[in-house]
A and B are shown apart, each in its own frame.
Chain A
Amino acid sequence: MARLEEARLPSAGPTPGAEAGLVLRIPAAVWAVGALLLLMPAFANNFVLFQVFGWTFILGMIALSLMFLAGYGGMVSLIQMTVAGLAGYMVAILGSSGTEEVSLGLAWWVTIPAAIIIATLFGTVVGALAVRTEGIYTIMITLAIAAAFFYFTRQNYTIFNGYNGFSLVVPPRLFGIDWRQPVAFYYLTLGMALLSYGAVIYVARSPFGLALQGVRDNARRMAALGYNVVWHRIFAYTFAAVIAAFAGILLVWQNAQIAPGTAGIPAVIDILVIAVVGGLRHPIGPFIGAFIYVLLSAFAPDVLTAFGLAPDRFKLLVGLGFLAVVYFSPDGVLGLWARAMAARRKRTDPLTGLPR
């Protein structure tokens, strides 16, 4: 049974500067997946494009922001969904929605940057509160703040419109395209997901990213090397918040509405489940986890009914599945994959190269 703490963390890859041959070193499988994703609208229906993949990319981005902090920074933060929710709320409040008494109706080129900035600031402040305590407290503190945000949005009517939330929140019609149409939305979310993924991969090997991993591995030594550990951690929260904020805007557009439950505790926990199930060792993990989650939520009701259970028991399935993953493969699907690869290598004798 693998130990979560000892699971191989994302890190060593090509040393800084060795970027030649980048194109050649990407395996064929990745090219195939990439082509598949780009051409998806040709053979998938609207439901798959909008509901399955759109949601996968959005949840994947939020889980990616959690993975960045947890995998590279060693900080398991539960505030990412809240950051996303806040960004979504800000777009609804500053822009136009069905609730005209509260929404300000500002133009998209004001609301979107403002929402990103506000949500990122919030994420940074939470980071500042959470980083000066020991690692295990981070989960507690971020969960408590996330819960406070949920209760506040639910009880406050002047800003957040309480229980009702906001509806009719749609993307602006840019370049004459209705971005909420399935094909357009698919490419929008795919593009944002690829951007976030690429950003995380790139930053992970930048001096900042390496330093963050150093802080994860040995904060005391980093201080003894001249790094300001606290600022590094806070800035990591800022970086993660940007990704979550973009995802939050996409989320409110996808649902065309936002309510307190969007960033409620079950949703917050779900992001953690997604990130852990996918695997915290590589940025692709959160997207794998999101895909599994979305498929489960789409098809589990049918499976449950087939077994004679009420389709509402979806959460039970998720919980049991999560427990199984944490118990048997704490580093998630990626960990399973890595162990399967290692097992395959072990089946050849290292001395002779022949199968055992």
Chain B
Amino acid sequence: MITVLRAPPFATVQDLGRSGHLHAAVPRAGALDPFALALANILVGNGPNSAAVEWGLTGGEVRFEQDATIAISGARARATLGGRPVPHCEAARAAAGEVLAIERIEAGAWVYLAVAGGINVPEVLGSRSTYLPARFGGMEGRLLRAGDHLPIGRPSTAALPGEPPTSIPSRREATAELADPRPADPIAVLPGPDLGLLLSAAWRWLVETEFRVSRAVSRMGYRLEAPSPAFPLPGDLPSAPACVGTIQLPPGGEPIVLMPDGPTVGGYPRIAVVASPDIGRLAQRSPGEVVRFQEIGLREARAGLQRRWNLLERVAESA
């Protein structure tokens, strides 16, 4: 069991989210940075989908009430375990009674704390992810707070299916590649289904503008600040399906990138969709930070996704 001693303002239990209920308007939920969560899990010997703590904004403290193998990934945090520094993206052993203190987040937005065996809250609709708007999943459907006791599951040797191809580098290199959010690099996007409704200037605007993450960021969506586009924007469209990573362009001209708790259908023009491997990289940017977009092809996006899973398999091989 893990006891929360001091909770940050925004921490929830998440896994990779739920599937199969989007048609009932139940969003996927799950980690904002799915590959960071999967990496932390694999480093402690879990399968990629085990539940972990998604930890945002500031520091905090938890105490392990039993011996546990843990790892932190995602945003770079200054953290100590029983007073010893905890390295980023490396498994560490916590003895019963030891306190993990996340002192502060130094780069990035969301830290993932995984523990061997996973956070063993009940599954709701096939996932342990917290979905705050409907108050279910995770810890009673809410943010973590001081005094919470998080049960730990039984550690297992869950393996990823398949062997990584030999083109994938060593375990250390694979971990380093997965752990690097490349904060200065552009975010890869695919043209969206409603791009045809906008003038051709719209795509140029999207890939040439330097956007900034606004303060309006949540697990539902990230609003980006930008100079007003110089092309006309259509008003509301008939509701149409959307997915995590969809970039909507509302009449005000500030794009909204849908995140895992975002709506399943929407009525704003879908100008682009962030490539899956880059959703977590975007989620790790904080208010005020710069975002640039770069077009990617579908084949390339899927190859990037495949590579990420292959890297995880490489890390899992010797975990």
Q: Verify that A and B bind, or say they do not.
A: no
Q: A residues engaging B (CB < 8 A)? A: none
The interface of chain B, by Cβ under 8 A from chain A, is none
